[in-house]
């Protein structure tokens, strides 16, 4: 069992790229970031609002958070857990982002059910999006500002459920929208206004299959409307890319993992 890394320092530069050796190292590094941001927020305000990413990449991170080394550092029962997006399926469907972390949150981290804010994928998408926006706004005294938003990146440059060409990308008022993925599956997603209002956004990217898109996204190339992930720019916050060597292999120069 490799020694647990200590939480990374919370640096303040607006853009940071953290290169990790492999998927396991990425998960551990990201767990350190979650703990660091939670400790900062709970220490400052005794509150911590996080939006979880869906998909496969963060699953190891989520299970790591239940391990003593990380779990004892965060008063998870004080956290408010939201979701960056959801597939429009029932919560017990294998595709459900909520379903994938439900046990970790409830049993592993003992987050009270009332503090877990899932998007109702089983409902009519536009109605579920509107209802989630109401729940989101009710959870914050003023404009919703997450302490930490976790995101992934698809090989097409999408993030959350903001897909290339989606009208939701030009949303400036609504915080939650109904979208549809490339397979025609309805989705619910946070929009850029609320993502970019976050104190910290961490984008987790792992695997060689993401390398080509990462080169385009972090390189000079940007399409007129840009890839959705390129529009994640937390205005008064910090953007941290957490990338493993395989995903960074096509960057110029190929980035080396930090010590
Ligand atoms: C989802 C996610 C989506 C995901 C990317 C990367 O619901 O699928 O919100 O944006 O983060 O597609 O997915 P992987 O981590 O599975 O590669």
CA distances from 108 to 37, 76, 77, 84, 105 (A): 19, 10, 11, 21, 6
| Residue nearest atom 13 in ligand 1 by C-alpha distance | 55
Q: How does residue 248 score in pLDDT terms, banded at 50, 70 and 90?
A: very high
CA distance 102 to 115: 12
Indicate whether 3 belongs to any domain: no
Strand partners, 149: 51, 201
Task: Name which of 12-21, 30-39, 105-114, 240-249 the model is least confident about.
Answer: 12-21
Q: How confident is the model at residue 6 (pLDDT cuts 50, 70, 90)?
A: very low
pLDDT value at residue 255:
57
In a domain, 259, yes or no: no
Pocket of ligand 1 (CB under 6 A): 53-57, 84-85, 97, 152-154, 158-161
186 within some domain: yes
Compute CA distances 189 → 34, 46, 140, 179, whole Å. Answer: 21, 27, 18, 7
Query: What average pLDDT does the chain have?
Result: 92
For residue 187, give the ligand 1 atom closest to its CA. Answer: 7
Residue 4 has a pLDDT of 35
Is position 255 within any domain?
Answer: no
Mean pLDDT of 17-26: 97
CA distance 233 to 60: 26
Q: What is the pLDDT of residues 110-137, one digit of tens each?
A: 999 999 999 999 999 999 999 999 999 9
Do 186 and 207 meet the contact criterion of CB atoms below 8 Å apart? Answer: no
pLDDT digits (tens, 9 = 90+) for 137-153: 999 999 999 999 999 99
How much is the pLDDT for 12?
59
CA of residue 202 to ligand 1 center, whole Å? 13
Query: Considering its fold, how many domains does the chain have in total?
Result: 1
**228: in domain:** yes
Q: Please report whether residue 48 resides in a domain.
A: yes
In percent, the amount of the chain with pLDDT more than 90 equals 87
Report the percentage of the chain scoring pLDDT > 70: 90
* Domain-embedded: residue 258: no
Q: What is the pLDDT of residues 218-232, one digit of tens each?
A: 986 656 567 999 999
**pLDDT attached to residue 223:** 62
Q: Is the pLDDT at 2 greater than 90, yes or no?
A: no
User: Does residue 4 lie within any of the structural domains?
Assistant: no
Ligand 1: centre distance to CA 76 (Å): 24
Note the pLDDT of residue 222: 59
Say how many C-beta atoms besides its own lie within 10 A of residue 106's C-beta.
Answer: 13
- How many A from CA of 91 to the centre of ligand 1? 17
Residue of 53, 163, 203 best suited for mutating to test ligand 1, as the one with most atoms within 8 Å of CB:
53
Which CATH number do you get for residue 145? 3.40.50.1360
Reported pTM? 0.93
Look at residue 14 in the predicted model and tell me its pLDDT: 78
Range of the domain at 59: 15-244
pLDDT score of 257 more than 70: no
Mutational test site, ligand 1, from 153, 208, 212, 247, max ligand atoms within 8 Å of CB: 153
Distance 152 CA to ligand 1 centre (A): 5
């Amino acid at each position: 069992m490799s020694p647990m890394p200590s939480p990374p320092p919370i640096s303040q530069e607006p853009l940071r790229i953290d290169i990790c050796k492999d998927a396991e190292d990425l998960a551990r590094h990201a767990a350190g970031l979650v703990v660091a941001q939670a400790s900062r927020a709970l220490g400052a305000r005794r509150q911590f609002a996080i939006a979880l990413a869906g998909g496969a990449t963060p699953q190891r991170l989520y299970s790591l958070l239940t391990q003593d080394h990380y779990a004892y550092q965060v008063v998870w029962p004080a956290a408010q857990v939201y979701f960056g997006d959801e597939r429009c399926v029932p919560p017990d469907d294998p595709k459900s982002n909520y379903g994938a972390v439900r046990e970790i949150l409830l049993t592993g981290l003992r987050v009270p059910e009332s503090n877990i804010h899932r998007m109702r994928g089983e409902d009519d998408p536009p109605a579920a999006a509107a209802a989630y926006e109401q729940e989101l706004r009710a959870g914050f005294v003023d404009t919703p500002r997450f302490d930490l938003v976790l995101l992934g990146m698809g090989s097409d440059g999408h993030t959350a459920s903001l897909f290339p060409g989606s009208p939701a990308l030009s949303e400036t008022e609504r915080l939650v929208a109904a979208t549809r993925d490339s397979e025609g599956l309805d989705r619910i997603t946070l929009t850029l206004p609320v993502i970019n209002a976050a104190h910290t956004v961490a984008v987790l990217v792992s695997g060689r299959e993401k390398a080509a898109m990462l080169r385009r996204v972090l390189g000079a190339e940007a399409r007129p409307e840009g890839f959705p992930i390129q529009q994640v720019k937390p205005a008064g916050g910090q953007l941290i890319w957490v990338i493993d060597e395989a995903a960074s292999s096509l960057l110029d120069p190929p980035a080396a993992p930090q010590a």
